[in-house]
Structure 1
Amino acid sequence: MQDTDAATAPTSTVRYALTGARGGFARTLLAQTRGIDRLHPAVLCDLDPEGTVALCTELGYDPADLHVCADAAELAAAKDGGIAVIADAALLAHADYEVLVEATGSPGAGTRAARTAITTGHHVVMVSKEVASVSGTALADLADEHGVVYTPGIGDQPANLVEWYERTRLLGLDVVAVGKSGEYDLVFDPATGRVKQLDQEVDAPALADLLTLGPDVPATLRARAEAVAGLTRAATADYCEMGVVADHTGLVPDTESLHYPVARVAELADVYALAEDGGVLSRPGAVDVFSVLRLPGEASFAGGVFAVVRTGDPVTWELLAQKGHVVSRSGRYACLYLPYHLMGVETPLSILDAADRHRAAGPRRPRPHAVLAGRARGPLAAGTRLDMGGHHHDVAGVAPVLLDAAQAPADTAPLYLAAHATLARDIPAGALLRLDDLADPDGVLVDAWRHARTRLVNDRNR
C-alpha cells in the first residue's frame, strides 16, 4: 500500500542561510545537513569567512563550492549550487535562500540579521537565545506582518521544551512545572566520595548518605546543595533559556534565582510538587532548572527537558508507574521527560517545518512573561563596560536573575540589552540594572524591548 504522506511530501531543495557559521552549534547543523538531500546551506555568514571555509572543508564540503563573497554581485555569482560565505550580514538582503538560522549569540547582530531576513521575506529559525530574550516578541510580530515564520530551533532546549509543554496541554494534563537539566551532570562516585561535573571535581562524601530523598525533601535538597557547594552549577545560559520558554508558554519562575535542586531523575515528580505536598514550588506553573545527580554508569539526562503534571486518576498512574514512569511517592504528580537535546542535529526539523508548513514551535507568539535581568555582583562604577563573554555568555560583574514580568519594575534592563553597554552611573551591589543605568544601549535592542513591553501590556488590557 502506498504511503500517502510520503507520496505528497515536499521534495524541493530548501536553501538555508546560517549566521554564526563558525560556531559550535553551526558545526553540528552543517555536519548534519550534509546527509539531508533536501537541505542546502546556501549562505554562511561569519566574521571569520576563511575559518568558515576551513570548517566546511573539514566536514567534507567541496572547497570548489565555497565562495567568499564581499558584495551583492559576488553573492549573485555564487547562487548556482554553490555556498556563499560572507562576513557582512547586511548581504543577506541580496541572498537566495528560504530560511535563516540565526546562531551568532550576539543580541545586536542577531537581531539585525533576523530583521533583514524577515523584511526580505525569509523565515527565521532563532537559535540565539540571547537575541530571543530581548527581541523575540518584536521579531515574531514582524514575521507575522511579512507572512513568514519566526520560531526557536528544535535541538536547543527552548524549542524542545515549548513543544513538550504544548503536547502535555493538548493531552489535557495539568502542568505544575516545566524545565530542563543543567548542561552537565553531577556524577558521584561512592567509592571515592568525589563528585565530578565536566572538568570540575570536588570531595563530597556527604552525598553517600543523601542518595535518596528521605521524608523531608527540601531538607535533603539543602544538604545536597551544601555538599556540592564547591561546584558552579548555575549558568547564565540556563536562565536565558528558561526566559525564552516563559515567553512562549506564559509560565514564570518560582524564584528569581531558580531552585536548581540537586536531584536524581526518578525524584523529579517529588521535587517539583507544591510545597504543601512536600515539594519546592510555592505555586503551580513554574519554569526551573535542576542539577542531575547520578552515579557512574547511569544514563545522563543530557540537558533534556521535563514537565511535571498532576496525575488525576490514581489507577491510570499506578499502572504507568508499574511500567517505569516517574510518579511521586504520593501518587499525585508525575514527570514526563525527554532526556536529550541534539543541537543542530535536530534543527533541520525546524528548517523544514518553516519552509514546508509555515509552522513554528508552539502555537503562541512570544510575549515577555519573564525578564532575564541582572543584579550587580558587587559595586559597579560609572563608565564600566558590561562585557559579555565565555561559553555561557556571562555579563561581567552581573549575576543573572529571571523575574516574573508582572512583578518586575517596568524599567528593568534585560541582561542582553545591557550587555556591551556602558554604565551611566554607579550601581550598588545587589541592585537590578535599569534602562536608565545604561549610557549607550543599542537602539535596535531598546526599540525591540519597548515593542515587547507594549504588546504585553496591550494583551493584558484586552
Structure 2
Amino acid sequence: MTSLSTKLAALEETGKPINVGLIGAGKFGSMFVSQSHRTVGMRLAAIADLDPKRALASLKRVNVPEGGYDTSASLPLDEALKQGKTAITTDSSAMIATPGIDVILECTGNPAAGVRHALLCCQHKKHIVMVNVEADVLAGPLLTRKAKEAGVIYSMAYGDQPALIAELVDWARTAGFDVVCAGKGTKHLPEYHYSTPDTVWSHYGFTKEQLATGDFNPQMFNSFLDGTKSALEMAAVANGCDLSPPVNGLGFPPCGVHDLPEVLKPQSDNGQLEKSGTVEVVSCLEIDGRPVFNDLRWGVYVVIKAPGEYQRDCFAQYGLKTDSTGWYAAQYKPYHLIGLELGISVTNIMVRGEPTGQCKTFAADVVATAKRDLKAGEKLDGEGGFMVYGKLMTAESSLAIHGLPIGLAHGIVLKRDVRQDQGLSWHDVEYSDKNQVVAVRKEMEALFRRELMEKKNGGTVSNWRERSRI
C-alpha cells in the first residue's frame, strides 16, 4: 500500500499540492499552521479569523517563513493563491467560496459558526474537517448527510481524540473483534462538574509564563475540566462508531492502562460497564485525589474480547495485557498531538477519498445541565462557563426530554427556574426557529425522531404522525 507521504510527494512533483483553508487561528489551528509549511504536497492557502492580528501572530509564533504568507494581511484571496502565499482574511464565507481551495478546517469551537461553515462547504463543494466537536455533536449526523448529498467529505479531525478512537475501533472490527468499550483518559473528579473559569487554573498547574502566551482560554479549558468536553468527544465517538453512551452519563472511573480490560468490561463479568459496546472516559485521579498509577490522561483506548479459546490463548502467547480471566484485552495510544497531526485528515480526504472518522448515526447527545440553581431571566453562558456543564446521554433520552444541547446553551435566556444538576430542555429557554443553527438542530431532531419511530414500528411510519402530535 502506498503511503500517504508518498502520495503527497507525488502531488508536489506534479505541481498540484493540496490547498487548505483554515478558519480559526487559536491553539488547534496554530498547531496545524506550525506543520503546514513543513508538509510536502500541502499548502496553507488562507487563514480566516475575526482578528487578522491574531492570525499573523500565529504565523510568527510558530516560525512560518515570512516569505510564505501575506504579512500585510491585505492581499485578495485569489491573488495570494496565485503567489503561493497564505492569505489572511476576516471573511470566512469568501474563503470557502474561493476557487482552488480544496479542504476547509473548521477550528472555531463555536457551534453556530461550525454549522454555518459546514453548510457553506456543501454549497461550494469543499471538503470539511470539523475540528469543532461542539458543532459535530450539535448537528454532525445531519451535516454528514448533507455533505454526502453535495458530493463532499465531512470528517472528524485526526489528532483529536474522537478520530483516534475511531481509528482504534476500526482496527478492532477490521481484525474481527467485537468492541467492548472505547474512549479516552482525562483528569476528573466528581466535584469538577461545578468548576468555573474562576477556579479552573487551580486544578491545572500551568505556570504564569505559560498562561501569558495567550494560548490558554479559561472557559475553554474549564470545559475540559468540568466534563463537558469529554461528554462531547464521547458523543462524537458513539455517533461515529455506532457505540452506546452509558445510560446515566459518563462514570469517569479511575483507571490506569494496566487495568483497562479489568475495569472496562460488563458488570456481568465483574467489570464496571452496564453492557458491552459502549464509550467511557477514565480518570487519572482516584476519588480521593491521588494520582492513578500508569494513567492514560492524554491517550485513547479500545477494549476488545477474545471471541474464542484460541484467540484468548493468542492474547496470552503474545503478551497482551488482559483482565484476570484472559478474555478481555486493551489496545491504547498514550498520547495525542491534536493540530500537529491534522494534516493526516486533509491528506486522507484528498488522496484516498475517505474521512478520518465520521458521524454515522444519532446515538448520543450532550444536554446542558445546571451547575447551580438557575433563575428565570438569567442568560446562559455556554460550555465551560459558570452556569451549565454538558452531560452525555442517549439520543433517544435527549429527544424524550426535549433536551437543550450544550452547543446552544449560550446567550439565550431562561424563562423558568432550573434546579442544580437538572438537564435543561427547549421548554426552559427563549429561542427563535429563525436562527440558522437552531433551525438546523430542529431539522436533525425531527429527522431522527421520525427514524426512531420507524425503527420502533418495524420500518414503517404507521402511527408516527399521530404520535408526533402528542
**TM-score above 0.5, yes or no:** yes
Q: Does structure 2 retain, via aligned residues, the 8 Å contact 1:374–1:414?
A: yes
Amino acid at match of 1:368: F
Q: Which residue of 2 aligns with 1:174?
A: 178
Q: Which residue of 2 aligns with 1:158?
A: 162
Q: Which residue of 2 aligns with 1:404?
A: 394
**Residue from 43, 64, 69 that aligns with 2:46:** 43
Q: Which residue of 1 aligns with 2:221?
A: none
Q: Which residue of 2 aligns with 1:124?
A: 128
Q: Does 1:267 align with 2:259?
A: yes
Q: Which residue of 1 aligns with 2:336?
A: 341
Q: Which residue of 2 aligns with 1:219?
A: none
Q: Which residue of 1 aligns with 2:151?
A: 147
Q: Does structure 2 retain, via aligned residues, the 8 Å contact 1:68–1:86?
A: no
Q: Does structure 2 retain, via aligned residues, the 8 Å contact 1:19–1:44?
A: yes
Partner secondary structure for residue 70 of structure 2: strand
Q: Quickly say closer, same or farther: Cα 1:30–1:412, change in 2 above 3 A.
A: same
Cα distance, 1:430 vs. partner? 3.1
Q: Does structure 2 retain, via aligned residues, the 8 Å contact 1:69–1:84?
A: no
Partner secondary structure for residue 359 of structure 1: coil
Aligned equivalents of 1:76, 1:233: Cα separation in 2: 42
Structure 2 unaligned regions, length at least 5: 190-201, 207-223, 460-470
Q: Does structure 2 retain, via aligned residues, the 8 Å contact 1:148–1:358?
A: no
Higher mean C-alpha displacement, 257-266 vs 58-67: 58-67
Q: Does structure 1 retain, via aligned residues, the 8 Å contact 2:266–2:274?
A: yes
Amino acid at match of 1:199: G
Partner secondary structure for residue 316 of structure 1: helix
Q: Which residue of 1 aligns with 2:281?
A: 289
Q: Which residue of 1 aligns with 2:205?
A: 199
Deviations 1:365-420 (A, max 9, x none): 432211100222222122211113xxxx4143113211111233251111112223
Amino acid at match of 2:91: D
Q: Which residue of 2 aligns with 1:352?
A: 347
Deviations 1:48-70 (A, max 9, x none): 21121122023232335433798
Q: Quickly say closer, same or farther: Cα 1:5–1:342, change in 2 above 3 A.
A: closer
Partner secondary structure for residue 142 of structure 1: helix
Q: Does structure 1 retain, via aligned residues, the 8 Å contact 2:284–2:291?
A: no
Deviations 1:140-167 (A, max 9, x none): 1221121000010110011111121122
**Residue from 98, 102, 106 that aligns with 2:102:** 98
Cα distance, 1:197 vs. partner? 7.0
Amino acid at match of 1:84: A
Q: Does 1:434 align with 2:401?
A: no
Aligned equivalents of 1:75, 1:403: Cα separation in 2: 43
Q: Which residue of 1 aligns with 2:114?
A: 110
**Residue from 39, 56, 64 that aligns with 1:61:** 64
Q: Quickly say closer, same or farther: Cα 1:85–1:300, change in 2 above 3 A.
A: farther
Cα distance, 1:4 vs. partner? 10
**Residue from 324, 343, 356 that aligns with 1:361:** 356
Q: Does structure 2 retain, via aligned residues, the 8 Å contact 1:153–1:347?
A: yes
**Residue from 290, 306, 314 that aligns with 1:311:** 306
Greater helix fraction, Structure 1 or Structure 2:
2
Partner secondary structure for residue 401 of structure 1: strand
Deviations 1:108-140 (A, max 9, x none): 112212222221010000111111011212221
Deviations 1:1-60 (A, max 9, x none): x97998876512001011112x11111111112210211111101122112112202323
Higher mean C-alpha displacement, 163-172 vs 38-47: 163-172
Cα distance, 1:351 vs. partner? 0.3
**Residue from 78, 81, 101 that aligns with 2:80:** 78
Deviations 1:64-93 (A, max 9, x none): 54337989x822222221111112222224
Amino acid at match of 2:340: V
Q: Does structure 2 retain, via aligned residues, the 8 Å contact 1:178–1:307?
A: yes
Q: Which residue of 2 aligns with 1:88?
A: 91
Amino acid at match of 2:354: R
Aligned equivalents of 1:291, 1:124: Cα separation in 2: 32
**Residue from 142, 146, 155 that aligns with 1:138:** 142
Cα distance, 1:288 vs. partner? 0.7
How well do the aligned residues superpose, as a CA RMSD in angstroms? 3.0
Percent identical:
27
Aligned equivalents of 1:357, 1:3: Cα separation in 2: 11
Q: Which residue of 1 aligns with 2:244?
A: 252
Cα distance, 1:236 vs. partner? 1.1
Aligned equivalents of 2:431, 2:325: Cα separation in 1: 54
Q: Which residue of 1 aligns with 2:369?
A: 375
Q: Does structure 1 retain, via aligned residues, the 8 Å contact 2:4–2:347?
A: no
**Residue from 327, 331, 335 that aligns with 2:326:** 331
Q: Does structure 2 retain, via aligned residues, the 8 Å contact 1:184–1:197?
A: no
Aligned equivalents of 1:439, 1:4: Cα separation in 2: 52
Q: Which residue of 2 aligns with 1:321?
A: 316
Partner secondary structure for residue 394 of structure 1: coil
Aligned equivalents of 2:249, 2:71: Cα separation in 1: 45
Q: Quickly say closer, same or farther: Cα 1:199–1:172, change in 2 above 3 A.
A: same
Q: Which residue of 2 aligns with 1:31?
A: 34
Q: Which residue of 1 aligns with 2:416?
A: 425
Aligned equivalents of 1:55, 1:5: Cα separation in 2: 27
Q: Does structure 2 retain, via aligned residues, the 8 Å contact 1:75–1:94?
A: no
Amino acid at match of 2:371: R
Q: Does structure 2 retain, via aligned residues, the 8 Å contact 1:108–1:131?
A: yes
Q: Does structure 2 retain, via aligned residues, the 8 Å contact 1:422–1:441?
A: no
Q: Does structure 1 retain, via aligned residues, the 8 Å contact 2:77–2:95?
A: no
Cα distance, 1:256 vs. partner? 3.1
TM-score for the superposition, normalised by structure 2: 0.80
Q: Quickly say closer, same or farther: Cα 1:441–1:381, change in 2 above 3 A.
A: farther
Q: Does structure 1 retain, via aligned residues, the 8 Å contact 2:369–2:421?
A: yes
Aligned equivalents of 1:31, 1:299: Cα separation in 2: 31
Q: Does structure 2 retain, via aligned residues, the 8 Å contact 1:121–1:148?
A: yes
Cα distance, 1:325 vs. partner? 1.8
Aligned equivalents of 2:323, 2:394: Cα separation in 1: 27
Q: Does structure 1 retain, via aligned residues, the 8 Å contact 2:111–2:407?
A: yes
Q: Which residue of 2 aligns with 1:213?
A: none
Greater strand fraction, Structure 1 or Structure 2:
1
